[in-house]
């Protein structure tokens, strides 16, 4: 940009909740751009440890005296970035408010950082992290100068942040952002290109009903820049595409031409971990694409991402190479352990799915990859409100497994709700085997009960903390010679 950055006047940036995946990407951006960055988080995680290793000061005890002296002494030169997960009674937040600091939500800061930049915003109640990482990867792999703020750790980039090459002009260098509908955060963005992956009901604790959620997507789409492009899933509420401003190009996408989209896939094959397909769309046809991250839903996500890449000039040859090189996002269909023979594989996969539609897509793809193999799913429900609102949907999608193990609900920002427990889902599951288990019971049963071929841990809470221990147990059990 020719004008100074809106955040240039803040040499100090302090994060409340710095360990969040979106917050940490912002922290890394400020650090890379010469700001003094520090922050608080509740617990030590691999992500906060990585931030510390990168030179960012992180503390874990909520006390005003733990706020760095430079922040306490330079109120007018400090920007405070806040995550919604910080509780109302947080001492540091209260002190910063009382002292009159400039406190902004993460979404507001993201809006500031993308001002005057061509922005590719990926929205949707599910699929946005994977799709935005795909867009960032395709552009970066093909050498298109670009930046990205992602909601997950890209395996290819090794980070949730992509910085543009030094000297890239801000007014022509696209920035890829995950546009979060939670708390209407994405309304701080005014994209050049917008992708909407889904408008399924979610976050009803914020919106109250699906109509209000859809209206927020309509507002988001209404903010696309003149002459811009909307790439929208054919399953999205039709009124969302209708909200696009006059002159904005609308491209609908889906897995097959029978669904009526302008952008679709055919010749879809599943072999091993790889899905092959051909892309057909208004930017042309690209044959023989090979995606190493499995799942029909990921083929659909890649359709939208590849369409953006075509808008930025990628040729069919560049697309084929870049798609083949894509390695996914941590905790999105992540293969933890693969062993056994081709005829009798033993597989452990971890996935972030936490909405019924996501779980259904994930499990159907697992079934396609490993037909006839016995599937055990360990699922941790995320939020009391989401469990209350979607218990029948969770039960229906999880019933695709042979055995379902539920953990107790991960509360995140919520307090318990009367009558809302994992039993609400369990009672409606029709899988042959189902139970609610503690962490220790899950680990014990992984050791003593061999009655499964494919194991999946699923959820958005802290179920991933089980992954290293389960991997070790299964590696010993499945590969006994290594024990």
| Binding residue ranges for ATP | 124-130
**Which residue, chain included where needed, has tokens 């992954």?**
467
What are the residues facing 37 on neighbouring strands? 13
Binding-site positions read 124-130
- Ranges of beta strands (E only) in 292-426 are 334-340, 345-351, 375-379, 403-406
List all residues 6 or more positions away from 435 whose beta carbon is below 8 Å from its beta carbon: 404, 405, 406, 426
Element (H, E) at 323: helix 316-325
Residue 286's contacts (CB-CB under 8 Å, 6 or more residues apart) are: 278, 279, 306, 316, 319, 320
**Alpha carbons 392 and 394: distance in angstroms, whole number:** 5
Q: Cβ distance 429 to 398 under 8 Å?
A: yes
Instruction: Kindly tell me the sign of the dihedral angle through the C-alpha atoms of 7, 10, 12, 15.
Output: negative
Give the bridge partners for 275, in sequence order: 270, 291
Q: Beta-carbon neighbour count of residue 244 at 10 Å?
A: 19
DSSP state of 166: T
User: Tokens in use for 310?
Assistant: 């075509």
Pairing mode, if any, of strands 78-82 and 57-59? unpaired
Query: β-strands 229-233, 102-105: how paired?
Result: unpaired
Cβ proximity of 355 and 202 under 8 Å? yes
Contact present, 292 and 369 (Cβ < 8 Å):
no
∠ CA(44), CA(50), CA(51), 5° rounding?
85
Which two structure tokens, joined as six digits, stand for 75?
């109120």
């Amino acid at each position: 940009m020719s004008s100074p950055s809106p955040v240039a006047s803040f040499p100090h940036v302090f994060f409340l909740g710095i360990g969040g995946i979106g917050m940490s990407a912002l922290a890394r951006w400020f650090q890379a751009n010469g700001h003094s960055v520090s922050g608080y988080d509740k617990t030590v995680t691999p992500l906060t440890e990585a931030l510390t290793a990168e030179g960012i000061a992180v503390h874990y005890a909520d006390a005003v005296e733990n706020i760095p002296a430079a922040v306490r002494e330079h109120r007018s030169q400090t920007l405070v970035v806040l995550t919604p997960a910080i509780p109302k009674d947080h001492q540091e937040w209260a002190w910063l408010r009382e002292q009159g600091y400039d406190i902004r939500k993460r979404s507001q800061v993201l809006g500031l950082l993308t001002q005057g930049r061509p922005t590719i915003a990926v929205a949707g109640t599910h699929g946005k992290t994977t799709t935005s990482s795909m867009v960032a990867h395709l552009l970066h792999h093909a050498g298109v100068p670009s930046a990205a703020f992602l909601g997950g750790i890209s395996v290819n980039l090794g980070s949730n942040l992509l910085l543009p090459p030094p000297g890239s002009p801000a007014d022509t260098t696209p920035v890829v952002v995950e546009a979060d509908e939670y708390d209407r955060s994405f309304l701080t963005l005014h994209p050049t290109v917008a992708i909407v992956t889904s408008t399924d009901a979610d976050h009803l604790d914020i919106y109250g009903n699906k109509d209000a959620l859809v209206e927020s997507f309509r507002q988001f789409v209404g903010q696309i820049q003149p002459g811009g492009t909307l790439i929208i899933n054919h399953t999205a509420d039709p009124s969302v595409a209708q909200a696009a401003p006059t002159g904005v190009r609308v491209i609908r996408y889906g897995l097959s031409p029978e669904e009526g989209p302008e952008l679709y896939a055919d010749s879809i094959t599943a072999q091993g971990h790889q899905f092959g397909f051909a892309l057909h769309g208004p930017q042309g046809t690209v044959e023989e694409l090979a995606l190493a991250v499995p799942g029909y839903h990921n083929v659909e996500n890649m359709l939208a991402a590849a369409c953006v890449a075509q808008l930025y000039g990628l040729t069919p040859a560049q697309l084929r190479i870049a798609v083949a090189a894509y390695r996914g996002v941590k905790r999105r269909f992540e293969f933890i352990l693969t062993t056994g023979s081709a005829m009798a594989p033993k597989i452990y996969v971890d996935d972030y799915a936490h909405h019924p539609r996501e779980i259904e897509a994930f499990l159907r793809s697992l079934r396609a990859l490993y037909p006839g193999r016995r599937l055990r799913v360990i699922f941790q429900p995320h939020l009391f409100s989401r469990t209350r609102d979607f218990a029948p949907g969770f039960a229906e999608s999880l019933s695709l497994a042979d055995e379902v193990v539920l953990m107790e609900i991960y509360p995140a920002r919520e307090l318990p709700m009367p009558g809302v427990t994992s039993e609400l889902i369990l009672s409606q599951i029709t899988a042959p085997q189902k139970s609610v288990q503690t962490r220790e019971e899950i680990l014990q049963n992984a050791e003593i009960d061999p009655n499964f071929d494919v194991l999946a841990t699923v959820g958005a809470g802290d179920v991933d903390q089980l992954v290293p221990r389960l991997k070790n147990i299964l590696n010993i059990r499945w590969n006994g010679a290594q024990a």
